[in-house]
Amino acid sequence: MSHNFQLTSPKIPTDLEKANFQDIFYEEEPFLSNCMIADTVIDKEAVERLIVSKVIFKNVTFINSSFKKMDVTDVIFENCD
């Protein structure tokens, strides 16, 4: 069985506002869109069915976190660990 997958560059707006990852906990659905998460540590977070679209994670460290069934579209991880 042969699959032809093609990666394309993320389509992300240039005028993203900085956001806080913890903001998803104030929403009915865990959703991040059209924002930048920068210079932070995401520690011991567990989110199921997180949807992330058109987001840049820049200088973010993820520690002991779990994102089951995460949907990621047009996202950049820059200098993340």
For 15-75, give the DSSP string: -PEE--GGGGGGSSS-EEEEEEEEEEEEES-EEES-EEEEEEEEEEEEES-EEET-EEEEE
Per the DSSP assignment, residues forming a β-bridge with 16 are none
Task: Enumerate the H helices of the chain as residue ranges.
Answer: none
Mean pLDDT (whole number) for 2-24: 87
The pTM is what? 0.86
Q: Where are the domains of the chain?
A: 17-78
pLDDT digits over 16-30, tens only?
Answer: 999 999 988 877 889
pLDDT-derived band at 8 (thresholds 50, 70, 90) equals confident
